[in-house]
Amino acid sequence: MKDIETNVSRRKFIGGTATIAGAAAISFPAVVQGQAAKGETIRVGLIGCGGRGTGAASQIMNSPHNTKLVAVADAFMDKAQGTVNRLKKQYGKKVLVDEGSMFAGFDAYKKVMSHGVDLVAIATPPGFRPLHFEHAVNNGLHVFMEKPVGVDGPGIRKVLAANKIAKEKNLLVAVGLQRRHQPNYMETIKRLQDGAIGDILYMRAFWNGGGVWTRPRQADQTELQYQMRNWYYFNWLCGDHICEQHIHNLDVINWLKGDYPVEANGQGGREVRGNPANDPGAKDHGEIFDHHFVEYKYADGTRMYSQCRHIKGCFNSVSEHAYGSKGESDINRSTIMPKQGDPWRFRGKNVSGHQQEQLDLVDALAKGEIYNEGDYGAMSTLTSILGRYATYSGKSVTMDQALNTKVELCPDLDKLTWNSDAPIKPDANGLYNAPVPGKSRVV
């Protein structure tokens, strides 16, 4: 069994030399199978100690294989300490983190990655994802990274370039698009791709809800500290909710199509968000839109119609739908309704997608089965960015324009310190300038 070389001398990792076995499962586009190393400890580092990072680490620890959490990092030490406290209560001796392996600050990710870890889980605000992923790959680490994997075209180019190197190094790369690991989605997509509703004519995708948390400004915070705490509402950190949430639904449609859109047009805005007249929390709602509608065009001429909204008291739906020449499917509900014949519904066991993706990841590492989800993670992220470009600009934007733009939301992200200025500033009233369709430059 050949060692996978890293900068950590102890690392004699689990999946050695392997042979290509093809796509063994619909959720794994490139599975490489090798010899298992039974019982060897998988040393895990966590970067980003918010709710999703804590959840991912917990689900990795919940694997039946021998996983240990050995280091954590966050921009803020109180977040890192809170995650460690919660996980120690839940998993006890599986959490080997102490004061010497808890790190805080903008460079904390480097300290985790040099702390003898085999697998790093990256769940920082998405704007940091390309930088952190690139560093992990350069250090020879297996990676789980949350979606989205970037917030702009330059970031996606960096992810795609790093992922090419990850493949050359035989590194496992998993992306938090957990629907691809859920049996109900896998079976429904397979049936649709096998022609259950004939030729796919058009698709719809939704993430309409009432919105998410805010973290109001505190008197002792700098502008940068405030934006880092309240990151969801700033594009350089989050990419807008069309990226941070709606990517899940867009990815399902891309998965169904086996392709990515070539062009998009759309409209959106801030109907409620950011308007002090009807938004009591206007000053904490940053610059992102509260609604988007996007028409995506694929190379074969088919369209996906996409909605996402953060407004309370409205029609809510988180779902994906396909319409074909012989029927239709509610993919989220795992149902197929042909025009002729009996309807079909998935009758198998429903599982937690977040848990299943980590069980699959750790099991693959333990068995030496190295798969890579980086490319589709990047391209589905770019699909969501393309939609934002279309709604912010009010123009039709191509995927090539989205990928190749030189417009970068935070060009010096790798140089950021707590003494840096925030990339955007509020006006005299404490409000932020939001994009204006027809005027804002996005590519």
- Domain assignment present for residue 421? The answer is no
- CATH number for the domain harbouring residue 188: 3.30.360.10
Short-list 403, 359, 398, 363, CA closest to 381: 403
How far apart CA 45 and CA 124 sit, in angstroms, is 13
Report d(CA 239, CA 147) in Å as an integer. 11
Residues 360 and 305 in one domain: no
Q: What is the pLDDT of residue 275?
A: 86
Whether 439 maps to a domain, the answer reads no
Yes or no: say if 366 and 42 are a contact pair by the CB < 8 Å rule.
Answer: yes
Residue 10 included in any domain? no
Residue 311 shares a structural domain with residue 365:
no
Q: Is residue 2 part of a domain?
A: no
Sheet strands side by side (includes 142-145): 102-104, 67-74, 42-47, 119-122, 142-145, 173-175
pLDDT by 10s per residue, the chain, length 443: 232 222 222 233 233 323 223 333 333 332 233 333 556 999 999 999 999 999 999 999 999 999 999 999 999 999 999 999 999 999 999 999 999 999 999 999 999 999 999 999 999 999 999 999 999 999 999 999 999 999 999 999 999 999 999 999 999 999 999 999 999 999 999 999 999 999 999 999 999 999 999 999 999 999 999 999 999 999 999 999 999 999 999 999 999 999 999 999 999 999 999 888 889 999 999 999 999 999 999 999 999 999 999 999 999 999 999 999 999 999 999 999 999 999 999 999 999 999 999 999 999 999 999 999 999 999 999 999 999 999 999 999 999 999 999 999 999 999 999 999 999 999 999 999 999 999 999 99
Q: Give the domain-ending residue among 315, 341, 372.
A: 372
Q: Do the domain assignments include residue 328?
A: yes
In a domain, 430, yes or no: no
pLDDT, position 233: 99
Q: Which CATH number do you get for residue 141?
A: 3.40.50.720
Tokens representing 331 are 């993919």
How many domains does one find in the chain?
A: 2
* Same domain, yes or no: 298 and 171: no
CA nearest 271: which of 284, 282, 262? 282
Indicate if 398 and 308 belong to the same structural domain: yes
141 and 198 within one domain: no
163-179 confidence digits (pLDDT tens): 999 999 999 999 999 99
CB atoms within 10 A of CB 144: 26
The mean pLDDT of the chain is: 92
Say if 409 falls within a structural domain.
yes
Q: Are residues 282 and 306 in the same domain?
A: yes
State whether 121 and 189 are in the same domain: no
- Residue 202 belongs to what domain range? 183-350+382-415
Residue 13 placed within a domain: no
Backbone angles phi, psi at 323, to 5 degrees: -125, 125
> Is the same domain home to 191 and 175?
no
What's the chain's Rg over C-alpha atoms?
22
CA atoms of 301 and 202, how far apart (whole Å): 9
| Claim to verify: residue 176 and residue 187 sit in the same structural domain | no
Give yes or no: residues 317 and 365 share one domain.
Answer: no
Say how far apart CA 377 and CA 371 lie, in whole Å.
13
Tracing tokens 């709710």 back to the chain, one arrives at 51
> Does 362 lie in the same domain as 245?
no
Question: For the chain, what's the residue count?
Answer: 443
Residues 256 and 398 in one domain: yes
